[in-house]
């Protein structure tokens, strides 16, 4: 600790400020270094002959212009007070555990390892089922254009089918053509379009992701939720491929005892369209409160890709200089989309969707 005396190059205010900040820092470090030996600390700074406080103040005051003596004196006084305070309360500046007032006999603070959120867990489970069937994963943007979210999926502008998927639209888009206006995507289906414009068949993809709708939050609805979409396009894809694939997926997710049934439904981008129901996993189809005494639980939407969708895709491919690849005369496909929250709620018997977003540890810990 035999440092030489630091130089003070100028007596103006900023230089003094900086020089004394460095000294104060020196006091703190030496206090920590000599925590076990306060007397050494005292001698180092306040020793009558060789103490640094004396040596430095003499050196700096000697060549100080008259008007700098007062500010220098004030600062040396403050430094001295800091040194004396460190001597009186070594605990606050020293580094040994005892000096820091740490009780080393207390049990340590345990930090629980994190776990995947139950929604992500279910989403991964669904995706994995399709990975095993040879599907790969595709993702798309949550802020989507009207073209991908609606128009290419055969929801014409102003068509009433759009009312079922009301959403938040991005402000200040009025000057853009309506197909370019941005909105929060209402489903993962726009990624079907993005994928087909990008790639020619065969296609087998799953699309997990976040979607948005203008729905009031209640026990089973949330304005932001998650879907897993699927798309399979190739030659000779039929409705029985769709049925077999989804029957397998439901058995993989809910157990081999579940049955599936397909109900006619409507989506603008599939024809024919169906809703898939599974036999109630709570009562094995006998009828209970959970399945409203029907024995069946409605789970997802699906259907054969509408030729109008293929036409929109090929039109866009051509516009981008790509060869058309989706002639419905020799290409067919199916698509499906399911809500992740709904599936997770059924898997775990959760009655309120809000639990997923509350961040309540008592809820989340149950999935560790």
Residues that bind ligand PHE (CB under 6 A): 187, 189, 229, 267, 270, 301-303, 335-337
Query: For residues 60 and 336, which CB has a smaller minimum distance to ligand PHE in the complex?
Result: 336
* Shortest separation between residue 186's beta carbon and ligand PHE, angstroms: 7
* Shortest separation between residue 294's beta carbon and ligand PHE, angstroms: 21
Residue with tokens 């949550």: 142
Query: For residues 174 and 240, which CB has a smaller minimum distance to ligand PHE in the complex?
Result: 240
Query: For residues 187 and 355, which CB has a smaller minimum distance to ligand PHE in the complex?
Result: 187
* Shortest separation between residue 163's beta carbon and ligand PHE, angstroms: 13
Backbone angles phi, psi at 72, to 5 degrees: -65, -45
DSSP three-state, residue 224: strand
* Shortest separation between residue 162's beta carbon and ligand PHE, angstroms: 12
* Shortest separation between residue 115's beta carbon and ligand PHE, angstroms: 28
**Would the CA dihedral through 32, 37, 42, 47 be positive or negative?**
negative
d(CA 47, CA 261): 92
DSSP three-state, residue 178: helix
DSSP three-state, residue 64: coil
* Shortest separation between residue 187's beta carbon and ligand PHE, angstroms: 3
Query: For residues 187 and 212, which CB has a smaller minimum distance to ligand PHE in the complex?
Result: 187
* Shortest separation between residue 233's beta carbon and ligand PHE, angstroms: 12
Query: For residues 34 and 167, which CB has a smaller minimum distance to ligand PHE in the complex?
Result: 167
Retrieve residue 94's tokens: 């020293």
Query: For residues 182 and 335, which CB has a smaller minimum distance to ligand PHE in the complex?
Result: 335
Query: For residues 33 and 215, which CB has a smaller minimum distance to ligand PHE in the complex?
Result: 215
d(CA 117, CA 213): 22
* Shortest separation between residue 269's beta carbon and ligand PHE, angstroms: 7
Query: For residues 52 and 187, which CB has a smaller minimum distance to ligand PHE in the complex?
Result: 187
Is 308:154 a contact under the CB 8 Å cutoff?
yes
Question: Closest CB to ligand PHE belongs to which residue?
Answer: 337
* Shortest separation between residue 327's beta carbon and ligand PHE, angstroms: 21
Is 304:332 a contact under the CB 8 Å cutoff?
yes
Residue with tokens 């180092």: 44
Among candidate residues 152, 249, 229, the one with its CA nearest the CA of residue 187: 229
Query: For residues 46 and 265, which CB has a smaller minimum distance to ligand PHE in the complex?
Result: 265
Distance of CA 272 to the CA centre of its chain: 36
Residue 241: C-alpha distances to residues 202, 245, 246, 304, 332 (Å): 14, 6, 9, 10, 11
Is 356:344 a contact under the CB 8 Å cutoff?
yes
Contacts of 114 (CB under 8 A, 6+ apart): none
**Would the CA dihedral through 130, 135, 140, 145 be positive or negative?**
negative
d(CA 219, CA 242): 31
């Amino acid at each position: 600790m035999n440092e030489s005396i630091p130089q003070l190059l100028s007596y103006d205010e900023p230089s003094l400020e900086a020089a004394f900040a460095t000294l104060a820092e020196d006091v703190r470090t030496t206090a920590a270094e000599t925590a076990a030996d306060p007397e050494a600390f005292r001698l180092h700074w306040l020793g009558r002959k060789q103490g640094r406080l004396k040596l430095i103040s003499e050196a700096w005051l000697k060549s100080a212009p008259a008007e700098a003596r007062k500010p220098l004196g004030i600062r040396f006084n403050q430094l001295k007070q800091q040194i004396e305070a460190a001597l009186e309360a070594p605990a606050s500046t020293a580094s040994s555990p005892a000096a820091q007032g740490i009780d080393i006999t207390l049990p340590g603070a345990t930090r629980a390892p994190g776990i995947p959120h139950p929604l992500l867990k279910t989403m991964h489970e669904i995706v994995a089922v399709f990975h095993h069937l040879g599907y790969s994963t595709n993702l798309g943007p949550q802020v989507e254009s009207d073209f991908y979210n609606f128009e290419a999926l055969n929801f014409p502008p102003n068509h009433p089918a759009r009312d079922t998927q009301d959403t938040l639209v991005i402000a200040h888009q009025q000057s853009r053509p309506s197909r370019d206006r941005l909105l929060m995507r209402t489903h993962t289906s726009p990624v079907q379009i993005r994928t087909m414009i990008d790639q020619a068949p065969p296609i087998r993809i799953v699309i997990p992701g976040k979607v948005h709708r203008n729905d009031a939050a209640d026990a089973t609805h949330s304005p932001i939720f998650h879907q897993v979409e699927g798309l399979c396009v190739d030659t000779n894809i039929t409705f029985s491929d769709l049925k077999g694939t989804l029957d397998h997926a439901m058995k993989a997710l809910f157990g081999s005892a579940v049955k599936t049934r397909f109900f006619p439904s409507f989506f603008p981008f599939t024809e024919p369209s169906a809703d898939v129901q599974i036999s109630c996993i709570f009562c094995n189809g006998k009828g209970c409160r959970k399945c409203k005494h029907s024995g069946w639980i409605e789970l997802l939407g699906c259907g054969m890709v509408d030729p109008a969708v293929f036409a929109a895709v090929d039109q866009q491919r051509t516009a981008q200089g790509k060869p058309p690849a989706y002639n419905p005369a020799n290409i067919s496909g199916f698509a499906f989309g399911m809500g992740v929250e709904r599936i997770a709620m059924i898997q775990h018997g959760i009655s309120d969707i809000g639990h997923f977003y509350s961040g309540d540890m008592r809820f989340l810990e149950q999935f560790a």
